[in-house]
Structure 1
Amino acid sequence: MISPHRSPADDPHADAATLYGPRFQNNPAQVYREMRRKHGAVAPVLLEGGVPAWCVLGYREVHHVTSNPGLFGRDSRRWNCWNAVSHDWSLRPYVAYQPSVAFTEGDEHRRRGGALAEALADVDEFELRTQVERICDRLIDGFAGRGEADLIAEYTHQIPLLALLKIYGLREDEAPPLIRDVARSGEEGEEAIQAHERIVARMLKLAKEKRRNPGRDVPSFLQAHPVGFTDHEIATDLFVTMGAGYLTTSDWIGNAIRLMLTDERFAVTLSGGRRSVGQALDEVLWEDTPTQNFVGRWATQDTWLGGQRIREGDLLVLGLAAANTDPLVRPDCGTGTVGNQAHLSFSHGEHGCPFPAQEIARLITTTSIEVLLDRLPDVALAVAPDALVWRPSVWMRGLTALPVTFTGC
């Protein structure tokens, strides 16, 4: 597909890399390296369906884009390729404008983003930790006697959403359909679109319920905030927070457990290894971050970035995983990650992940792994490491399954 504002003769996407398909799914790091060698810090790419975009691979370039919202905005309505994508394009839910905090700009974003950050900061972390410990114990109780389990389906994919249900004031019996739909919404295809629509509808219903019967939860906090949210605004913000908080946190847990079960540096302290948990979580954010790419930013005017001519309305994909391994800022990847929080896994700038959300995610991930190691100290991978399968997604990096064995109890 040729960008509508360029002729085939000078189209820079004629030899663009594809950010989809088995090769990208199985080894995205290799794809990023090849893109960097060929194009530098900013590379032309094709998203599913042959849709053109620019992938920002350089650490400094991602920092520049996220630090300049006036030049690279979040309102997707300025995209110059809307006439080139079909209505059922599977990535449309991530790109189509919604009245959520994720697509607001300027003063409106600062008001709404600030209110959402306040709502998350109001969460009682001591109470949340206690709730997460109970959730983890209950899930482990369900498979502890078998001596084997799939930690993705039976553990990591359930914990963050069950914790979010508490934060949102939802009943726990609503978890199964939400778990299925949020997981599907992070994939590709028609089911992703339908799952997205069902989640937003449930969040709208929740917003209306909390307006009638407020409680000590995030939607009630937003209802009472002086910003004056509408129910639909709250619903879309709750969906964005759920999508960002659930899948990324789930994959953060799963990727860290995989690292601890497959890397001998962590295996030597696994059975007693609380000291290793924080190190594993930090290393995953650098080397195998759950959010590998983020869509996106749209150029508000013609400009240059990383040696590439960016036209007004062009879509930029933030290559967070690639930026974290940029050899210009990390010539020796795999070293120096302990305690180093300079990664871009939470993005950067006013549209980066709010600090209270980062704190909640770290609390959930740390608690989940610590409880697992306390309960199942001899847990071991049940298959060869290279037999593990990564979920197909241009945005997320997570496993489809993590089979393990342990001494039953």
Structure 2
Amino acid sequence: MSETPNPAPLRLYGPRFQQDPAALYETIRRDYGPVAPVLLDGDIPAWFVSGYREIHQVSDDSQLFARDTRRWNMWERIPDDWPLLPYVAHNPSVMFTEGPEHRRRAGAIGDALGAVDQFELRAQCERLADGLIDSFAGTGEADLVAQYAIRMPLLVIAYMYGLPPHEVPELVRDIAISLDVGPDAIPAHLRVQAAMQRLLAQKHEQPGPDIPSLLIQHPANLSDEEIVLDLLVVTAAAQQPTANWIGNTIRLMLTDARFAMTLSGGRGSVGQALNEVLWQDTPTQNFIGRFATRDTQLGGQRVRAGDLLVLGLAAANSDPLVRPDSDAGSAGNQAHMSFGHGEHGCPYPAPEVAEVIAKTTVEVLLDRLPDLELAVPVEELLWHPSVWMRGLERLPVRFTPTYVAAQAGMSAAARPW
């Protein structure tokens, strides 16, 4: 008996992913199973892994499904202006290392992040959040994406890096551009790299209790090039995903009746909302990727050596095999794939640091503006057009103006903006 062929490969780009990706992930799972043939921009073939069990398998087996993008068997078809090139262009950062070298680099990052005092980090987040809110509190309206969520993570990173405040505005713009797909992404990435090189030179001269200084002093004996590249990785991984986590959580709390009491006078449900967003609207939807080191089978598909596998993190989070009742809530369940898995997942304690930033940012907002409400109907909120990230383009809100800090001018924490 002959096998029934799969449907034609699905194009993993375009508007179908922008407003309701969850429905499309469900369709992919139904029509193809946990591993689907897809086409990336320019109709470049790849595999889309949507099954929770299969992503777990791929992430656990770094020998069979490796991270070094130079293994890809499609390089001869990739033009110099391919829009996804920033995701796959190899560089000697921790992102693309493997085996003992990866453990050396990731271990140093984890140790540096682990040295951050989370009580002091939370206090600093509160000061920075208050400063940003002061800048718009007197107006009675704001775009909480552009004026708040996007700005907070990099302000905190600047604090953890000991970065000169005057460099923060340009850096946040360049990071946002470098993470997007477009012709300006690579030049923006190079400007961010130059900023990290200047910062590292300063820390050699004047070390402090900051992450670059800790990496310079780490017993892993990292070279300056390694530290610069790994600071770029940490910065990019922290900025847009954390900003989207904040924005998506605020959106959930403003549009879901379960969180009405939190808005009007409490913090109790902020943690629940943050966790629910990681399950339902995770900031990093899909991730490029892993590369098969030999011919193998995965999810009923024949994967060839050098094939690219796209990790469908959001699709795995909605896999009915692990979440048979998606309406049952996610309180206390942190088995999501939103921070990845395995040795190439977010290194400990990066998820905890991100949670301190996101949770404090949302809590301070609710404390300061308790009558916050959407300024537009929820159906008018638009998601950023990206297959890879999940975040709102804008989040317009209104509230009762408060004039104490706003009329006095911005606080020092927010002055770079």
User: TM class, shorter-chain normalised?
Assistant: over 0.9
* Aligned counterpart, 1:6: none
Pairing partner for 1:316 from 297, 309, 319? 309
**Greater relative contact order, per chain length (Cα 8 Å cut-off, separation 6+):** 2
Pairing partner for 1:124 from 117, 130, 148? 117
Q: Secondary structure, in 3 states, of the residue corresponding to 2:291?
A: strand
Tell me which moved more, 267-276 or 47-56. 267-276
Pairing partner for 2:330 from 327, 337, 350? 337
Pairing partner for 1:235 from 228, 240, 260? 228
Q: 1:290 to 1:157 in 2, by over 3 A?
A: same
* Aligned counterpart, 2:247: 254
* Aligned counterpart, 2:364: 371
Taking only the aligned residue pairs, the percentage that are identical comes to: 61
Q: Secondary structure, in 3 states, of the residue corresponding to 1:355?
A: coil
Does the CA-based 8 Å contact 2:69-2:88 persist in structure 1?
A: yes
* Aligned counterpart, 2:205: 212
Does the CA-based 8 Å contact 1:270-1:276 persist in structure 2?
A: no
Pairing partner for 1:141 from 134, 145, 153? 134
CA drift at 1:49: 1.9
**CA deviation string 1:216-273 (max 9, x = no partner):** 1111111111222121111111111111111111100000000000111112432113
Pairing partner for 2:55 from 46, 62, 77? 62
Pairing partner for 1:150 from 133, 143, 167? 143
- Could you tell me which amino acid in structure 2 is paired with residue 102 of structure 1? M
* Aligned counterpart, 1:78: 71
Runs (5+) with no aligned partner, structure 2? 403-417
* Aligned counterpart, 2:100: 107
Alpha-carbon distance between aligned partners in 2 of 1:86 and 1:14, rounded to the nearest angstrom: 27
Does the CA-based 8 Å contact 1:186-1:192 persist in structure 2?
A: yes
- Could you tell me which amino acid in structure 1 is paired with residue 62 of structure 2? P
Pairing partner for 2:186 from 188, 193, 205? 193
Does the CA-based 8 Å contact 1:187-1:392 persist in structure 2?
A: no
Matches within 5 A, 1:247-396: 247-396=240-389
Pairing partner for 2:25 from 23, 32, 37? 32
Q: 1:350 to 1:337 in 2, by over 3 A?
A: same
Tell me which moved more, 215-224 or 368-377. 215-224
Alpha-carbon distance between aligned partners in 1 of 2:128 and 2:104, rounded to the nearest angstrom: 34
Does the CA-based 8 Å contact 2:6-2:32 persist in structure 1?
A: no
Alpha-carbon distance between aligned partners in 2 of 1:239 and 1:335, rounded to the nearest angstrom: 38
Pairing partner for 2:217 from 213, 224, 241? 224
Matches within 5 A, 1:9-20: 15-20=8-13
Alpha-carbon distance between aligned partners in 2 of 1:314 and 1:208, rounded to the nearest angstrom: 40
CA drift at 1:14: 8.1
CA drift at 1:209: 2.4
**CA deviation string 1:340-375 (max 9, x = no partner):** 111010111111111211111000111001100000
- Could you tell me which amino acid in structure 2 is paired with residue 36 of structure 1? R
CA drift at 1:211: 2.1
Give the TM-score normalised by structure 2.
0.93
Alpha-carbon distance between aligned partners in 1 of 2:246 and 2:177, rounded to the nearest angstrom: 18
Pairing partner for 2:83 from 63, 84, 90? 90
> In the alignment, does 2:162 pair up with 1:169?
yes
- Could you tell me which amino acid in structure 2 is paired with residue 335 of structure 1? A
Does the CA-based 8 Å contact 1:186-1:393 persist in structure 2?
A: no
CA drift at 1:379: 0.2
Q: 1:223 to 1:13 in 2, by over 3 A?
A: farther
Alpha-carbon distance between aligned partners in 1 of 2:6 and 2:284, rounded to the nearest angstrom: 24
**CA deviation string 1:66-94 (max 9, x = no partner):** 00001000001000011111112121111
Alpha-carbon distance between aligned partners in 2 of 1:297 and 1:314, rounded to the nearest angstrom: 8
* Aligned counterpart, 1:8: none
Aligned length: 398
Q: Secondary structure, in 3 states, of the residue corresponding to 2:138?
A: helix
- Could you tell me which amino acid in structure 1 is paired with residue 284 of structure 2? T
Alpha-carbon distance between aligned partners in 2 of 1:22 and 1:117, rounded to the nearest angstrom: 37
Alpha-carbon distance between aligned partners in 2 of 1:345 and 1:317, rounded to the nearest angstrom: 14
* Aligned counterpart, 1:51: 44
- Could you tell me which amino acid in structure 2 is paired with residue 193 of structure 1? I
Does the CA-based 8 Å contact 1:13-1:45 persist in structure 2?
A: no
CA RMSD, 1 decimal: 1.3
Q: Secondary structure, in 3 states, of the residue corresponding to 2:346?
A: coil
Alpha-carbon distance between aligned partners in 1 of 2:219 and 2:124, rounded to the nearest angstrom: 30
Does the CA-based 8 Å contact 1:293-1:319 persist in structure 2?
A: yes
Alpha-carbon distance between aligned partners in 2 of 1:278 and 1:364, rounded to the nearest angstrom: 12
Runs (5+) with no aligned partner, structure 1? 1-11
- Could you tell me which amino acid in structure 2 is paired with residue 279 of structure 1? Q
- Could you tell me which amino acid in structure 2 is paired with residue 219 of structure 1? P
- Could you tell me which amino acid in structure 1 is paired with residue 297 of structure 2? W
Tell me which moved more, 67-76 or 270-279. 270-279
Does the CA-based 8 Å contact 1:291-1:395 persist in structure 2?
A: yes
* Aligned counterpart, 2:238: 245
Tell me which moved more, 20-29 or 56-65. 20-29
Does the CA-based 8 Å contact 1:287-1:334 persist in structure 2?
A: no
- Could you tell me which amino acid in structure 2 is paired with residue 390 of structure 1? W
Q: Secondary structure, in 3 states, of the residue corresponding to 1:45?
A: strand
Tell me which moved more, 327-336 or 99-108. 327-336
